[in-house]
């Protein structure tokens, strides 16, 4: 790493919390309500190698409908929050990063109430919650985070599980660490060449401490 970050911004769904099973469970009913195509199990696996805009196209979702659909998922996730858990090793990794002086932030399209409920005691590791971000709004939120803490882009690391996280990091000119246990497949993430590719929460700790 050319420069050690001072703040680490974490995506939430698929990065810290295992929300994908719940997402899959409610996808069919949301598709029926909003009139987009419900993918087969085989196609769902294929979609995990695509960028967000390609997924919208594949499911025949008009771009203008995306905010309402995203809000629907947030609301349904709130009902499911008590049954959603953090990935194994996440809580311990967050505690170690905080103990070693890193500022930690949440940068998520999910709602803050959902995020805090699922994090539980681990919510105390975070100084900032930038939640309710629109589908392609992470880059601007990263800019606000840097302004608040008076940091340069080189002092920030974004950690996420999707190709759109990599795109956001490049727009904001921050470092990027991709995790392989979330939504996008590891090989798709690797081809996009993030600064780091983590295969477990322990990898994050090893790379930064």
CATH topology assigned to domain 7-18+86-208 = Rossmann fold (3.40.50)
Q: Has residue 179 got a pLDDT over 70?
A: yes
Sketch the domain layout of the chain as residue ranges: 7-18+86-208, 20-83
Helix 138-149 to helix 163-172 angle (10° resolution) is: 50
Element housing 160 (H / E)? strand 156-160
Q: Are 162 and 182 in contact (CB under 8 A)?
A: yes
Q: pLDDT band at residue 3, thresholds of 50, 70 and 90?
A: low
Q: Report the pLDDT value the prediction gives residue 161, as an integer from 0 to 100.
A: 96
Is this model's pTM higher than 0.85 or not?
yes
d(CA 1, CA 198): 14
Q: Rounded mean pLDDT of the chain?
A: 91
How high is the pLDDT of residue 133? 75
């Amino acid at each position: 790493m050319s420069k050690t970050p001072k703040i680490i911004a974490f995506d939430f769904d698929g990065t810290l919390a295992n929300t994908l099973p719940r997402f899959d469970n409610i996808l069919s009913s949301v598709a029926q309500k909003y009139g987009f195509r419900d993918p087969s199990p085989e196609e769902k696996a294929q979609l995990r190698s695509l960028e967000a805009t390609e997924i919208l196209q594949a499911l025949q979702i008009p771009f203008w409908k995306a905010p309402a659909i995203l809000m629907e998922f947030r609301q349904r996730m709130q009902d499911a929050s008590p049954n959603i858990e953090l990935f194994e090793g996440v809580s311990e990794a967050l505690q170690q990063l905080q103990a070693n002086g890193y500022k930690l932030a949440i940068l998520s399209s999910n709602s803050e109430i959902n995020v805090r409920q699922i994090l539980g005691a681990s919510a105390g590791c975070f100084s900032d919650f930038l939640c309710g971000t629109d589908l392609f709004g992470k880059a601007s939120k990263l800019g606000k985070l840097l302004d608040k803490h008076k940091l340069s882009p080189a002092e920030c690391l974004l950690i996420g599980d999707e190709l759109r996280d990599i795109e956001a990091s490049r727009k904001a000119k921050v470092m990027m660490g991709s995790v392989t246990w979330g939504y996008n497949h590891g090989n798709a993430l690797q081809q996009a060449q993030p600064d780091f590719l983590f295969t477990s929460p322990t990898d994050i700790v090893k790379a930064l401490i």
